[in-house]
Amino acid sequence: MEIRRIGVVGLGAMGAGIAQLGIEAGYAVVGREISADLGERARERIAHFLERKVEKDQLAAEEREDALARLTLTTDLSALADCDLVIEAIVEDLGAKLELFRELERIVRPEAILATNTSALSVTEIAAATSTPERVVGMHFFNPAPLMPLVEIVRAELSAEEAVETAYGVAERMGKRPIRCHDTPGFVVNRILIPLLNDCIRALDEARVTPEVLDTAMTAGAGWPMGPCTLVDLVGIDVHVHASEALYEKLREPRMAPPPRIVAMRNAGLLGRKSGRGFYRYD
């Protein structure tokens, strides 16, 4: 299926990054936020990152302007009616996603593909909210979406081959390195990474080391490009806790459960870079 127009629902850090990838790849993108103010903030964020690419000679000034011209903002879901592909990037809450997919099914054309960017929820459960689950797939981008090369293309139980391959092709056109996988808790990366990061966080107390020491151990000793504490701060401590809880609920494996230390940090509002303080302090 040929994709010309992409809708992105939710223009937070992840959604804005996906929208940026879309307009850079030459797609017309309709970005939907719940308020015009949030939409404009997303446009400013995208414009800022594209300007930085111009300053680094990675993008011509004319290309930046052309890309921004392909971005349309709206607060009305019905504006997505002509989209060939709609990517959902709203809050990681199953109820909210189910409600959204029911609405999208009523709005978009029957042949349009619906994709969820969920990192831990079941794509099959989300697809079940529609009467046409064959057109629903997962497109799991990683944060920050413009920089991280991987996209997990997730096949739900009833996803059609055409929907999976079309989503794969879109990710390739965006310059990504997509992989295909089936719908299983955590997909590929988070199924491995979430319990591993939880083990690292538990080691802070068990080995009686500081975040700095733990990060040094894993970068200098295990060859990680980024220490686990720095990584969790970047991802967002609230996001990590939510993903851990979702995986533990599905799998009941103790390593999946978020350690008490990071749950307490989440409850205290220490969310990492986004809040200015997590394992580390940020200006």
d(CA 251, CA 228) in angstroms, rounded, equals 23
Of all helices (H) and strands (E), which one includes residue 152? strand 150-155
Which of 209, 191, 206 minimizes the C-alpha distance to 253?
Answer: 191
The catalytic residue among 24, 88, 117, 119 is 119
d(CA 172, CA 155): 17
Q: Per the residue annotation, which of 122, 152, 159, 198 is the catalytic one?
A: 152
Spot the catalytic one: 159, 190, 198, 244.
190
Pairing state between β 136-141 and 150-155 = antiparallel
* Structural contact between residues 6 and 84, judged by C-beta atoms closer than 8 angstroms: yes
Q: Residues, the chain, total? A: 283
Catalytic member of 140, 240, 242, 244: 140
Beta strand pairing status for 136-141 and 113-116?
parallel
Does residue 117 carry a catalytic annotation? Answer: no
The contacts found for 244-249 with CB under 8 angstroms, 24 or more apart, are 244/194, 244/198, 246/92, 246/120, 246/121, 246/185, 247/120, 247/185, 247/186, 247/190, 247/191, 247/194, 247/195
Say whether 190 is catalytic: yes
Q: In whole angstroms, give the CA distance from residue 226 to residue 105.
A: 40
How many whole angstroms separate alpha carbon 266 and alpha carbon 202? 15
**Does the annotation count 140 as an active-site position?**
yes
119 is catalytic: yes
Identify the helix (H) or strand (E) that includes residue 29: strand 28-32
Could you list the active site residues? Answer: 119, 140, 152, 190
